[in-house]
């Protein structure tokens, strides 16, 4: 998303500047900052609420109770770097989540295991997102190369052909961000259902876990909306509907 925002003004200089660019960039950056700040604040707050199990223990228990025995739970460096890797079948938990026994760690660990459950059950949206990864990587790499090339061949990039190509590539990354939404919301739903059913958290702690996962999901919503807004702007440029 950051790279796409940086590329937007350069394309606008070639095809005609519009204040819409500033609105898109400003609104997306502001909302993204607000959501990210709230997420970090909630995570820090809920990290102070202890429970009986560490994030690693939560993950291992949830996987086992869902009949998943071929997925490993490992620690990964960094903060908020938690993710599930379907290619290696590993639930990667950040160091803080892996060894911490808090409601925040439990929520994050259970969420990532939610993706492992999706994988095991062949959840359609996860399968679609996984199949899109090569195309998204190609689109992102190609857009980065085109962005760099703009500085050396501006005349060529004034051609409508370039804008058609750019819109097509950007549409792929936008579609990926949209497909990601049901995947993330479903993983959180599975996580919360398991946390409640397992008795790991009390009703009050469950609500805090739900709140933490809600703000985590909002980061994906903001990214998707920002990407859609930019895609619509590119399309309007393509058809000559500039402000």
Catalytic residues: 112
The CA distances from residue 66 to 69, 120, 199, in Å, are 9, 9, 15
Q: Which of 61, 57, 118, 107 is nearest to 80 (CA)?
A: 107
DSSP-derived letter for residue 84 is E
129 vs 212: CA distance, rounded Å: 24
The structure tokens listed for 184 are 């993330």
How many CB atoms are closer than 10 A to CB 211? Answer: 16
85 vs 97: CA distance, rounded Å: 17
List helix spans (H) across 150-159.
154-157
Three-state SS at 94: strand
Three-state SS at 66: coil
How many CB atoms are closer than 10 A to CB 202? Answer: 11
* Dihedral sign, Cα of residue 56, residue 215, residue 191, residue 173: negative
Three-state SS at 21: helix
């Amino acid at each position: 998303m950051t790279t796409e925002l940086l590329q937007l003004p350069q394309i606008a200089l070639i095809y005609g500047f519009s204040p819409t660019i500033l609105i898109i960039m400003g609104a997306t950056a502001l909302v993204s900052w607000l959501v990210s700040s709230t997420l970090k604040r909630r995570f820090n707050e809920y990290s102070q609420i202890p429970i009986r199990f560490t994030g690693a223990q939560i993950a291992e228990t949830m996987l086992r109770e869902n009949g998943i025995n071929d997925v490993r739970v490992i620690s990964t460096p960094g903060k908020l770097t938690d993710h599930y890797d379907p290619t290696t079948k590993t639930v990667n938990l950040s160091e803080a989540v892996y060894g911490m026994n808090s409601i925040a760690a439990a929520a994050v660990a259970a969420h990532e295991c939610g993706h492992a459950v999706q994988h095991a059950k062949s959840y359609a949206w996860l399968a679609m997102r996984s199949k899109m990864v090569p195309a998204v990587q190609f689109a992102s790499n190609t857009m980065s190369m085109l962005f760099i090339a703009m500085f050396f061949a501006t005349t060529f990039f004034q051609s409508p052909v370039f804008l058609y190509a750019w819109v097509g590539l950007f549409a792929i990354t936008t579609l990926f961000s949209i497909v990601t939404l049901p995947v993330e919301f479903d993983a959180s739903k599975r996580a919360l259902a398991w946390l409640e059913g397992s008795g790991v958290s009390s009703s009050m702690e469950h609500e805090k876990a739900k709140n933490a996962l809600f703000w985590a999901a909002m980061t994906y919503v903001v990214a998707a909306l920002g990407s859609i807004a930019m895609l619509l702007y590119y399309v309007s440029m393509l058809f000559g509907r500039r402000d």
